[in-house]
Amino acid sequence: MSNIKIEHQPSQQRLDELGVSNWGIWEKEVSEFPWTYDANETCYFLEGDVIVTPDGGEPVQMGKGDLVTFPKGMSCRWNIRQDVKKHFMFD
């Protein structure tokens, strides 16, 4: 089971409450790579289509308009199918 949390199409009010517009921006072209989270990451996808597969877990699809939280300590594989641009924050 995945501990990835996804909010599809959160309201502008929710994004404003989180301060998303003040977060950093990360961009990445179509690619595939392993990743391990050293901290919790919350991100909001401005563009893209991604499948993230946690080690030993089921693939999770996400992309434009999704607010996603990845848990600290999770190892996974990112498969970027459409170039990504996202706001992100680690805590």
Query: What pLDDT is stored for residue 2 in this prediction?
Result: 63
Query: What are the extents of the domains in the chain?
Result: 5-90
Helices (H), the chain: 12-18
Percentage of the chain beyond pLDDT 90 is 97
Q: What is the mean pLDDT of the chain?
A: 96
Per residue in 26-57, pLDDT tens? Answer: 999 999 999 999 999 999 999 999 999 999 99
How far apart (Å, rounded) are the C-alpha atoms in residues 36 and 23?
Answer: 20
- One-letter amino acid at 10 equals P
10-26 average pLDDT score: 98
Given this structure, which CATH class describes domain 5-90? Answer: mainly beta
Q: What are phi and psi of 10, to 5 degrees?
A: -65, 155
- Whether the pTM exceeds 0.85: the reply is yes
